[in-house]
Amino acid sequence: MKNHLLTLGLIALSITATQCKSGLVTTSNGCTTLINTGQSQNKAGDYSSALDNFNKVLQKCDAYDAKEKGYAGKAAALNGLHQYNDALIAAMKGTSFESPRGPISIDPETRDIVQNVYIRRVERKDGELYNIEFDVFPAVKDPAKVKAQ
């Protein structure tokens, strides 16, 4: 079971890591320092300190790429601490990818899926019925949870 969670976490981490292909971090010096320190601590095996630094990144830094590196670093630190469930959750937060249903992402706050909702109508073409998309509501969150906020 742990190996499956570890594998899922690594897949999610690789998805997260490939999102920012240039590796460019457009953050303040304080955020960059926290990220670099956390990455060094992960490499050295000091996972508790790395986890503290990446939690600070997620609290203090607002830039998208800083959050991305914060989630990836937190996942790696939790994985090093053998907290596989938490590592998987940290790796999945904020990720986005293309699915057969279009672009989807995981809301970092609620951990729910965010996806497009397609409006379709049934039309007959060449004697057969087809669902024809005519409108889309992009990036829809769970309406019940949005209403509750």
User: According to the model, what pLDDT value does residue 76 have?
Assistant: 87
Per-residue model confidence as pLDDT tens for the chain (149 residues): 444 444 444 444 444 443 444 444 455 678 888 999 999 999 999 999 999 999 999 888 877 778 888 888 888 888 888 887 777 777 777 778 787 788 888 888 787 889 999 999 999 999 999 999 999 999 998 888 777 66
45 backbone φψ class: left, alpha, beta (φ>0; ψ -120 to 50): left
SS3 content of the chain, % helix, strand, coil (to 5): 55, 25, 25
Question: Which residue's entry shows tokens 């570890």?
Answer: 6
Model pTM above 0.75: no
d(CA 109, CA 140): 14
User: According to the model, what pLDDT value does residue 149 have?
Assistant: 64
Contacts of 102 (CB under 8 A, 6+ apart): 115, 116, 118, 136
How many other CB atoms are there within 10 angstroms of residue 65's CB atom? 18
67: its two tokens: 């959050």
